[in-house]
Amino acid sequence: MGEEEGGSKAVRNTVVAVGGAGCLLFPATLAGGAVVIIIFCGLGVLLAPLIAIYLLFHLIFGGGGSDDVPGPGDASAVIAVFQGDGRGDLDTSTVPKDLVDPIQEAGKLCSDIGPIVIASQIEKSSDFNASLVGPDGKQGISQLPPDIFTKYGKDDDDNGKTSALDAEDSIMAQGHYMCDLADQARKMIAANEAAGSVLDLALAGYDVGMDAVRAAKGVPQTNEAQGYVAAVRAQFAKYSGLAAIPSGMATPTGIQTSLPTAVPTESLAPTPTP
């Protein structure tokens, strides 16, 4: 009994570290009485174990009953997916039906970038808003800069026009661009010009540019670059189906699921004040 309660406590009490300035710690209560302690800190959050993304969807949409709390095995599966290469099968129920095919196709363009990566980037970039226009000139569901879309975009849905605001054109351009970045990353690693995984370097290149990655000889040690890589990886569990929303329920908007890291509170418990 004590062991079971301990396991539930380790999963329920989760620390989420999100890249940012300063260092703030406060509790937030979710469905089922789960307590999540949010810590906003600086650098160093990349690729730490992730449990919070699973808890958010499971507790909010999965019933939240005490008999239905995920155990250590579930958390381990989420951690493995978070740290993996994102090349597993996409859970098609987690993306809009009209985007399943282009996401799947974009994820087949090269062996380094799977559909889970594509879907995770889209959520991070636009939350699946195909008409989004960013203040920096980026457009569409994949939020590609105009010059990048001009280079990689084409009329993939054969509707007679090529537009960054066309979801299929944008997603396929994203896939081609990511494959190019992955190829550059692989060559940099082989030449000892950068350290890290092909996927992480490609993701960082997508966000801050490959010149910045090359100059840093890896993922740049900045909140922006590390936070982006971690935030995209945080979606892998969702789009692989481990933290999927139950069938028949619309994908929520306005719920922040881009949680870069999570570790049990026991490992970060503050020292009591005398």
Chain segment 111-169, per-residue pLDDT in tens: 999 999 999 999 999 999 999 998 888 999 999 999 999 999 998 877 888 999 999 99
d(CA 112, CA 134): 28
Query: Does residue 199 have a pLDDT over 70?
Result: yes
Q: What is the pLDDT of residue 246?
A: 44
Query: Does residue 231 have a pLDDT over 80?
Result: yes
Pairing between β-strand 14-19 and β-strand 24-29 as defined by DSSP bridges: unpaired
Q: What is the pLDDT of residue 243?
A: 66
Q: What is the pLDDT of residue 73?
A: 54
Q: What is the pLDDT of residue 8?
A: 35
Q: What is the pLDDT of residue 54?
A: 43
Q: Which residue has the higher pLDDT, 15 or 1?
A: 1
Q: What is the pLDDT of residue 209?
A: 96
Contact of 225 with 42, CB cutoff 8 Å: no
- Structure-token pair, residue 20: 């940012």
Strand, coil or helix: what is 84? coil
Q: What is the pLDDT of residue 138?
A: 92
pLDDT grade for 84, boundaries at 50, 70 and 90: confident
CA of 28: how far to CAs of 37, 188, 231, in Å? 6, 42, 20
Query: Does residue 31 have a pLDDT over 90?
Result: no
- C-alpha count within 13 angstroms, C-beta hemisphere, residue 253: 6
